[in-house]
Amino acid sequence: MTNTPSSASGPPSGPHRLVGRQGHARWEGNLDTHAFRIGSVPIGSGSPVVIAGPCAVESHEQTLAIAHAVRAAGADLLRGGAFKPRTSPYEFQGLGIEGLEILAAARAETGLPVVTEVLDVRQVDLVARYADCLQIGARSMQNYPLLREAGRSGMPVLLKRHWAATLAEWLCAAEYIAAEGNLDIILCERGIRTFTRGEYGRNTLDVNVVPAAREMSFLPVFVDPSHATGAATMVPWAAEAGCAAGADGLIIEVIADETQVCDTLCDGEQSIRPAALAQIIRRVRPEETRDTSQPGFGLAP
Amino acid sequence: MTNTPSSASGPPSGPHRLVGRQGHARWEGNLDTHAFRIGSVPIGSGSPVVIAGPCAVESHEQTLAIAHAVRAAGADLLRGGAFKPRTSPYEFQGLGIEGLEILAAARAETGLPVVTEVLDVRQVDLVARYADCLQIGARSMQNYPLLREAGRSGMPVLLKRHWAATLAEWLCAAEYIAAEGNLDIILCERGIRTFTRGEYGRNTLDVNVVPAAREMSFLPVFVDPSHATGAATMVPWAAEAGCAAGADGLIIEVIADETQVCDTLCDGEQSIRPAALAQIIRRVRPEETRDTSQPGFGLAP
Amino acid sequence: MTNTPSSASGPPSGPHRLVGRQGHARWEGNLDTHAFRIGSVPIGSGSPVVIAGPCAVESHEQTLAIAHAVRAAGADLLRGGAFKPRTSPYEFQGLGIEGLEILAAARAETGLPVVTEVLDVRQVDLVARYADCLQIGARSMQNYPLLREAGRSGMPVLLKRHWAATLAEWLCAAEYIAAEGNLDIILCERGIRTFTRGEYGRNTLDVNVVPAAREMSFLPVFVDPSHATGAATMVPWAAEAGCAAGADGLIIEVIADETQVCDTLCDGEQSIRPAALAQIIRRVRPEETRDTSQPGFGLAP
Amino acid sequence: MTNTPSSASGPPSGPHRLVGRQGHARWEGNLDTHAFRIGSVPIGSGSPVVIAGPCAVESHEQTLAIAHAVRAAGADLLRGGAFKPRTSPYEFQGLGIEGLEILAAARAETGLPVVTEVLDVRQVDLVARYADCLQIGARSMQNYPLLREAGRSGMPVLLKRHWAATLAEWLCAAEYIAAEGNLDIILCERGIRTFTRGEYGRNTLDVNVVPAAREMSFLPVFVDPSHATGAATMVPWAAEAGCAAGADGLIIEVIADETQVCDTLCDGEQSIRPAALAQIIRRVRPEETRDTSQPGFGLAP
C-alpha cells in the first residue's frame, strides 16, 4: 500500500485527511480504533458488536418478534429498513414513517438501539428523530449531498461500501461526513461484485479490505455477511471470516422462526434464523482476544 | 439472453415494463429507437448525435471558447458540469448557479442545446430551468429520489450507467424515470470497472452492452468514450467502436487548444482537442448507414 | 499508461523488450504493425484480415462445407479446432489427428491457410505439420513450456489473451515466443470475464485493449467477437467495434446454413451464418482507411 | 446455489460427477471431507493442516533454514518451488532438478513431506519422484494434459484455483484428475482478480468459495493467504479468515528471519516470518472445533 503511515509523516494530508491515520499522533503507528457509542452500546471497544434484525420492517408484529429474538440471541443493536432502496420501482419500498414508528416501539420494548437507512437527503431530519444510527446504503455511498446531511445530523453513521468502490473512494465518502464535524462513522463492507456473481452467493465478501481499511483509518470496520453472500447457509461462515479478518462488528439480517422465506418482502433468502445468530455470536466472542502487537498481526515494521 | 422479445409475448411485464420492448407492438421484434428532441436536435433518428464540451464549467471564457470549437467541429449539443460529483470533498465541486448561467450564455451564442448534470434532488428544478437535458451521473444511477424528480421534471434525461451496474439495474433505473410519465431517456454507457483498472485507461468500455440494451429496450443508447477510457489518445478509438457497436450517439469531453491539461480543474487527461473531435465526427457519420434488417445485424431469428 | 514510448528511450528493456516498441527505432513513435504472412495471406498490412470457420472440426463434410462458405463470404484463412480444450472431461475433445487431416483437405480444396489450436506441448510438432498458424488458446496463455515450443516451431502463432490477463501479462506471454526467435505473433483479444458474465453474452469485449496493445507493441492485434460475446446476434456488432478500435483482423466462428445450433458439438450458439459473415467482411473493409497521423488517432504528442 | 444436493438425487451426474457430493451416499447431505495422507500427515481430518515454506527454492542453505523454522513453528508440510511459472521469461525460473534435490534433503532433515509445483507435462514423472504432493498452479488449472498426467501419477495433488475460474470450472479441473482414478485432491483458493487489484494486496481472497466448494464437493479445501493478499501484513488476517470460513488447511510462504525481502528471487513481499507463522498456527487450531450440525453451519434444511 502506498499510503502506509510512517512515524514521521507530517500533518494530516491527502483526500481523506480527517479519517486517515496519517499525521494524527493518536492514531498513527497503531491499529487502535476510534471508540464511540450508539445509544449505550460501545463501538470500537474490543469484542465484536452485532447489529441484527429484519431486512425490511414489514409489520409491527414481525419486527417486534425479531427484535426480541435477536436480543435473546445476544445482539447489541437492532437493524431494519423503513425506507428501502429497491432496484425496481415495483418492489416493496418500505413502510416509511410507519416503519420508523415500529422501530421506535421495538427499541422501547427491547432496549436495543436502532440502526436504519436514510436514502433521501430530504428525510435525514425525519429519520434522525427515530434512529440511533443512520445507515447510508451501498447505492448511496457517493451521494454526496446525503453524506453531508448525515454528517450535519450529528448522529453516528454506518457507511456501507459500494460493491464497486475502491478503498480510497470509501474513505473519501467517510471524509464527506467527517468534514461536517462528525467522526462517529462505521465503515461497513458488504461484498463486492465480481465475476462470481450468480454462481454462488450474490457478491464476494472482500475480507482483504478489513485489515487494509484498519491500517489506513482509525474508524471501526464492520462486515455485513448477509449481503456479502446472499445465501443464508453461507452467512455464518462469512460472519466468522469477517471477524477473523479483524472486523469490529457485524450487521446481519434475521428472519423469524415462524416466517416462510417466500413470505418476506425483501431478501428473505439471505436471512438467518435466531438460533444461527446465537451460535455466530458465541463463536465470534472468544474469551481470548487477539493481540495485534504480536508478530504478524499489525503494521509493517 | 433470457429476455429475448418474441412476437407473441403478452402485455408488457417485468421490472422494466415501460422501457422494455416486450409487449409493446411498436417496439417488439425490431431494433427501432424511440425518437425525441433535445432543443431542436433529434435523438434516436439515425446518424449518431454528438454531445461535446468541457468536463466542468470552469469559467465564462473557457466554456464559450470550447462551445464555439465543438460547434465548429460538428457537435450537436453542449455538455459541461456546473455541479460536479467528486470523489473527495477537497476537489473542485463546480461553479453551481454561476456555471448554469455560463452554460445558458454559451447556448445563446452557439445555438447548441445544453446537457448538464444534476446530483442533488433539491436542485432538479433549478437545473431544469437552465438545461435542455438533465444528466444523471454514474454515481447517481440508483439514487431513486433523484430519478423520480428527474422524471417529474418533464425534461429529457441522459442516464449514465454505473460502472458496476447490470443491464437489468440500468433499465430499472430508467424505469423509475419512465414511471413518472417521462420516456425521453438516453441510456449512456461510460465504461465498467474491471481488473484492468489502472493499467490502461480507467475503465473498460462495455461495447457488448450496446447491442444488448438495444435489443431489450427502445431507448436510445449513447457511449461516453472519455470516461470509458480515461485517456485522450484512446478516446477516438473508443468513440468509433461505440458507434460501430450500434450506439445512437456519443458524449465527449473536450479541452480548448490553448489550455494545458495540467491547468484543468477536472479530468483534463481524458479530454480531446477540437481537431480530434472533428475527425471523430466525420468518421462516425458515414453516408451509408447500417441496415439492421440484413443478415447478422438484428434480432435472433 | 506508464510505458508510453518516447523518442529517446534507450535500448529495449523491461519484461517485454522484444515485442514492445520501446527502444526499437523501426517501431518507436509510430503505430506501424509488424507484417508477415500466413501461407500467402499478408498479416498486419492494412485492411482487416478475417479468419473464419467452425468452432470444432466435427466431420469432413461439415468442415468442407463451412470452408467453402467462408471462402465465398470473403474470409482469408480457415479456423477449426482438432484438439479442443474443454472445461469438462466429458465434453467433446476434438477429433485429434483426424481433425488435422480434415483441415488439410479443406485447405487443399479452398486454398485457405489453416489456423488451429495446439494445447499439449508434446503435440506441437504434430500440429505444426498440418497448420499454417498455431493457435494458443486463452487457457494456455501462461503455459510457458507450450509458448516456448510454439516459438521454436518457427510457425506463425495466434496468441489469445486469457480472460483475466493484464496487458503486461499478455505481452510477456508473447515475449516467451519471441525469445525463441519467432516474432510472427498475432495478439488476439477474445473477451474478459467481468461481473456482466451470464447476463448478456459470456464475456466483455475489451475494445480498450486494442489501442493500448498497439501503442505498446508492434505485433498485429486481432479480435475474436465470437468468444467475446458468446451470442450470434451480438457477433456482428462486436466484430465491427473491434475493427473500429483498430484491430488488424478478426477470428470468427461460423456454422453452416444447414446445421441446427443444437446439433453442434461445441459453441454453436455463438457461431454466425455465412451470410452474416459476408456482411461483416463488407463493412469492415471500407475503401477509405484510417490515417493514424491525423489528430486524435495515434500517439500522445 | 442451483446445485444444492438433495437427499434423493439419483446417481452421480453432471460435469463433476466424481468429485461432487451429489449421488454419493457417503457424501450427500453432509459436509464431511475426503480424508487421505500426504506422507504421514492426515488431510481432511479436522484440525487445519499448514503447508509452509519458501516461495522458491533458492539455495540449499535458504531452504533448509526455512524448513527447520516452519517445522519449529508447527507446520505440517514443506512447500517450495523448484519449477516456477513466471510472468516474464527474464525472471528466475527456479532451480529445476537441483531444487528438487534440495527439497528432498530438507524432508530428510525435518521429516516434513514436500509439496512442489509441476508445470510441464513432460516433467510429471520427474517431480513425482521427489515430491509427496504435486502442486498444480493457478495458471495451469486448465492445462488439461497436465491434469491428466497428475491424475495418472497416483500422487496427492494440490490444485490451485485460477484467479478467474468459476467454482464449476475448478471442480471440472479436479474432475480431470479424478477421471484418472485419483481422488486425493486438495482444492486450494489463492485469491481472485478483481477491480481492487493493485490498491491493497494483489488479489481478493474469495472466502465465499470455501463454504460453496465444501457444499458441492467432498474434497478438502485449502486457502493460500500469501497469494490471496500479496502483502505480508495482511497474511495473518487472511489466514484466519480462511479457516473461519471452513478451510481444511493453509499454504503459506515464509521468509527466513535473516533474509532481506529485497534479496529474495520471488514474491518476498508476501512472505511472512516464522514467528508470525507460529502465531497463525496457534490461533487457527482452537481446542473447540466447530460443530457443523449446529444451526446455521451446514447445509440448507
Question: What pLDDT is attached to residue C198?
Answer: 86
In this prediction, residues C16-39 reach a mean pLDDT of 97
- Locus of grid cell 463486492: A192
Q: To probe the interface with D, which of A2, A6, A169, A200 has the most D CB atoms within 10 Å?
A: A200
Question: What pLDDT is attached to residue A11?
Answer: 94
Question: What pLDDT is attached to residue D287?
Answer: 61
C interface with D, Cβ–Cβ below 8 Å? 15-16, 85-91, 119-122, 139-140, 142-145, 162-164, 168-169, 172, 175-176, 179, 193
Residues of C in contact with D87 (CB under 8 A): 15, 142, 168-169, 172
In this prediction, residues A218-224 reach a mean pLDDT of 98
Element (H, E) at B38: strand B36-38
Name the residue of chain B whose CA is nearest to C272's CA.
B296
Cβ–Cβ < 8 Å for B160, B135: yes
Average pLDDT over chain C, rounded to whole? 94
Of C297 and B300, which is predicted with more confidence?
C297
Helix axes B60-73, B274-284, angle to 10 degrees: 30
Q: How far is Cα D209 from Cα B22, in angstroms, rounded to an integer? A: 36
Question: What pLDDT is attached to residue B209?
Answer: 98
pLDDT band at D292 (very low <50, low <70, confident <90, very high): confident
- Chain A closest CA to C220's CA: distance in Å? 29
The closest alpha carbon to D195, from B202, C61, C4, belongs to B202
Question: What pLDDT is attached to residue A201?
Answer: 87
Cβ–Cβ < 8 Å for A135, A162: no
Name the residue of chain C whose CA is nearest to D147's CA.
C89
Query: Does the structure show a pLDDT above 70 at D160?
Result: yes
Name the residue of chain A whose CA is nearest to C163's CA.
A195
Question: What pLDDT is attached to residue B198?
Answer: 85
Residues of C in contact with B196 (CB under 8 A): 166-167, 192, 206, 208-209
Cβ–Cβ < 8 Å for A233, D246: no
Residues of C in contact with D88 (CB under 8 A): 15-16, 172, 175
Cross-chain Cβ contact A296/D283 below 8 Å: no
Q: Which of B18-32, B259-273, C73-87 has the lowest mean pLDDT?
A: B259-273
Cross-chain Cβ contact C89/D162 below 8 Å: no
Query: Does the structure show a pLDDT above 90 at B294?
Result: no
Q: How far is Cα C135 from Cα C68, in angstroms, rounded to an integer? A: 21
Who among D193, D195, D198 is closest to B193 (CB)? Answer: D195
What are the pLDDT digits (tens) for C98-132?
999 999 999 999 999 999 999 999 999 999 999 99
Q: Which of A239-253, B146-160, B210-224, D265-279 has the lowest mean pLDDT?
A: D265-279
Cross-chain Cβ contact A169/B87 below 8 Å: yes
Residues of C in contact with B296 (CB under 8 A): 232, 235-236, 272-273, 275-277, 279-280
Helix axes A97-110, A60-73, angle to 10 degrees: 40
Question: What pLDDT is attached to residue A289?
Answer: 61
Residue D49 neighbours by CB distance under 10 Å: 23
Cross-chain Cβ contact C208/B200 below 8 Å: yes
Query: Does the structure show a pLDDT above 50 at B1?
Result: no
Question: What pLDDT is attached to residue C195?
Answer: 97
Alpha-carbon dihedral of residues C255, C257, C258, C263, nearest 10 degrees? Answer: 30
Question: What pLDDT is attached to residue D6?
Answer: 46
In this prediction, residues C145-174 reach a mean pLDDT of 98
Kindly report the backbone phi and psi dihedral angles of residue C117, in degrees, each rounded to the nearest multiple of 5, phi listed first. -85, 145
What are the pLDDT digits (tens) for D173-205?
999 999 999 999 999 999 999 999 989 989 999
Polymer length in residues for chain C: 301
Q: pLDDT > 90: what percent of chain B?
A: 87
Residues of C in contact with B202 (CB under 8 A): none
Alpha helices in D56-134 (DSSP H): 60-73, 97-110, 124-130
- Chain C closest CA to D49's CA: distance in Å? 29
Cross-chain Cβ contact D172/C87 below 8 Å: yes
Q: Which of B99-108, D105-114, D139-148, D287-296 has the lowest mean pLDDT?
A: D287-296
Q: How far is Cα A23 from Cα A218, in angstroms, rounded to an integer? A: 12
Residues of C in contact with B195 (CB under 8 A): 164, 166, 192
In this prediction, residues C194-207 reach a mean pLDDT of 95
Q: Which of A249-253, A269-273, D289-293 has the lowest mean pLDDT?
A: D289-293
pLDDT band at D267 (very low <50, low <70, confident <90, very high): confident
Query: Does the structure show a pLDDT above 50 at C301?
Result: no
Name the residue of chain D whose CA is nearest to C85's CA.
D144
Residues of B in contact with A88 (CB under 8 A): 15-16, 172, 175
Name the residue of chain D whose CA is nearest to C142's CA.
D139
Average pLDDT over chain A, rounded to whole? 94
Q: Which residues contact D203 (CB under 8 A, 6 or more apart)?
A: A208, D163, D190, D191, D192, D193, D194, D197, D227, D228, D229, D230
pLDDT band at C203 (very low <50, low <70, confident <90, very high): very high
Question: What pLDDT is attached to residue D15?
Answer: 96
Report DSSP state, residue D263: G
Question: What pLDDT is attached to residue B300?
Answer: 52
pLDDT band at B267 (very low <50, low <70, confident <90, very high): confident
pLDDT band at D148 (very low <50, low <70, confident <90, very high): very high
What cell numbers appear for D290 in the block?
A: 466447530
Who among A15, A87, A193 is closest to B164 (CB)? Answer: A193
Residues of A in contact with D70 (CB under 8 A): none
Kindly report the backbone phi and psi dihedral angles of residue B99, in degrees, each rounded to the nearest multiple of 5, phi listed first. -65, -40
Ramachandran bin of B121, using left for φ above 0, alpha for ψ from -120 to 50, beta for the remaining angles: alpha
Residues of B in contact with C205 (CB under 8 A): 207-208
Query: Does the structure show a pLDDT above 90 at B132?
Result: yes
Cross-chain Cβ contact C210/B237 below 8 Å: yes
Cβ–Cβ < 8 Å for A186, A43: yes
Q: How far is Cα A134 from Cα A146, in angstroms, rounded to an integer? A: 11
Cross-chain Cβ contact B207/C208 below 8 Å: no
What are the pLDDT digits (tens) for D114-144?
999 999 999 999 999 999 999 999 999 999 9
Cross-chain Cβ contact B241/C300 below 8 Å: no
Cβ–Cβ < 8 Å for C242, C207: yes
What cell numbers appear for B184 in the block?
A: 425521453
Q: Which of A138-142, B171-175, C12-16, D3-7 has the lowest mean pLDDT?
A: D3-7
In this prediction, residues C241-262 reach a mean pLDDT of 96
Q: How far is Cα A206 from Cα D208, in angstroms, rounded to an integer? A: 9
Q: To probe the interface with C, which of B4, B171, B208, B248 has the most C CB atoms within 10 Å?
A: B208
In this prediction, residues B147-170 reach a mean pLDDT of 98
Question: What pLDDT is attached to residue B166?
Answer: 98
pLDDT band at A1 (very low <50, low <70, confident <90, very high): very low
Instruction: List the beta bridge partners of residue D204.
Output: D192
Who among D212, D236, D237 is closest to A234 (CB)? Answer: D212
Cβ–Cβ < 8 Å for B254, B69: yes
pLDDT band at C6 (very low <50, low <70, confident <90, very high): very low
Query: D54: buried, middle or exposed (CB in 10 Å: 19+, 13-18, 0-12)?
Result: buried
Question: What pLDDT is attached to residue C201?
Answer: 87
Query: Does the structure show a pLDDT above 80 at B2?
Result: no
**What is the SS3 assignment for D269?**
helix
Q: pLDDT > 70: what percent of chain C?
A: 93
Question: What pLDDT is attached to residue C267?
Answer: 84
Q: How far is Cα A36 from Cα D83, in angstroms, rounded to an integer? A: 52
Who among D88, D121, D164 is closest to C163 (CB)? Answer: D164
Residues of D in contact with A205 (CB under 8 A): 207-208
Q: What is the largest CA-CA distance in chain A?
A: 58
Q: Which chains touch B (3 or more CB pairs under 8 A)?
A: A, C, D
- Chain A closest CA to D273's CA: distance in Å? 8
Cross-chain Cβ contact C197/A195 below 8 Å: yes
D interface with C, Cβ–Cβ below 8 Å? 15-16, 85-91, 119-122, 139-140, 142-145, 162-164, 168-169, 172, 175-176, 179, 193
Q: How far is Cα C104 from Cα C108, in angstroms, rounded to an integer? A: 6
Question: What pLDDT is attached to residue D5?
Answer: 43
Name the residue of chain D whose CA is nearest to C198's CA.
D166
Cβ–Cβ < 8 Å for B294, C280: no
Cross-chain Cβ contact B145/A119 below 8 Å: yes
Of B1 and A166, which is predicted with more confidence?
A166
Question: What pLDDT is attached to residue C3?
Answer: 42
Who among A196, A233, A295 is closest to D206 (CB)? Answer: A196
What are the pLDDT digits (tens) for D29-66?
999 999 999 999 999 998 899 999 999 999 999 999 99
Gap between the terminal Cα atoms of chain B: 13
Who among A91, A122, A164 is closest to B163 (CB)? Answer: A164
Question: What pLDDT is attached to residue A287?
Answer: 60
Q: How far is Cα C205 from Cα C225, in angstroms, rounded to an integer? A: 7
Question: What pLDDT is attached to residue B287?
Answer: 60
Cross-chain Cβ contact C197/A193 below 8 Å: no
Predicted-complex ipTM score: 0.94
The closest alpha carbon to A115, from A67, A152, A44, belongs to A67
> Angle at Cα A33 formed by Cα A28 and Cα A38, nearest 5°?
145
Cβ–Cβ < 8 Å for D249, D50: yes
Residues of C in contact with D175 (CB under 8 A): 88-89
